Structure 1
């Protein structure tokens, strides 16, 4: 996690020590839920190992909106920021090791450490940028272009996810994804 955080800001030893004290480690089995719809999201998560997905139920169908690979952060930004019940489910697709930090603890550290305040801001901006980029895929790119972007940006997902999960994430039907993959 420290190496990932260094990309967001520099933490001195004292700030890192304070920050590490608000982290809690959790182990999740495949299929286990981390966040359910209706719960308030009060944490930012860091995936150490495993694979997580974030999805919403729409007309009885699961719609994947994010996949998180090792060494990445995730949360439900809308619920976390506005203290509204989550519309997302976050679920482990593989056995996963996750660090969590409570928003209240992180905000409390902002008063004590400017580097941690900078880290928090940069972290939330990064999460927002990722969401905005994914949302733009559907207005700017065709189904084939979305698949090509995914292959370029997250090639591990293509290997680790079933076809139906990939299709849902790309906003297309399984049959369409199969046709696109045959074109390669």
Structure 2
């Protein structure tokens, strides 16, 4: 019984400390390698595979994306062609602009205002509001979008979606950069 009396307060203390932990920022990953060079990685053609899961974890949509990317100085264009499992298609063209070392802003026709991005180490965090059409109504949805460079070809992405502070679900993607020969 004495051990149990000591274990319960220790367990509660551990839970309390975990609850107080600050969420990660890009700086959390500043020492992680490989270092992400956004202008280098998003240059050329990339293939992506992804899914959207609702807040209960159910997979609602599956898709592939072909991205053709190029930069002219500090301005980049990411031309994305989405192909959904249900046969629908979508196109989004991002314009990215480097504003300072490790800092970017992005625009696209369905992004409200500007996306704000920060790179540190192997991580990129984008925060933006997307005009998302659902059943004939357009909702403005907050995206907290994290990308992590795994190696020179592969990047993993998880974007949390919310509205009025309520979790709506998440998008998960894997990117693979094509070799210069198209493979």
On whether the aligned pair clears a TM of 0.5, the verdict is: no
Scaled by the length of structure 1, the TM-score of the pair is: 0.24
Higher Cα radius of gyration = 2
Flag the structure with higher helix content: 1
Of structures 1 and 2, the one with the larger relative CO (CA 8 A, separation 6+) is 1
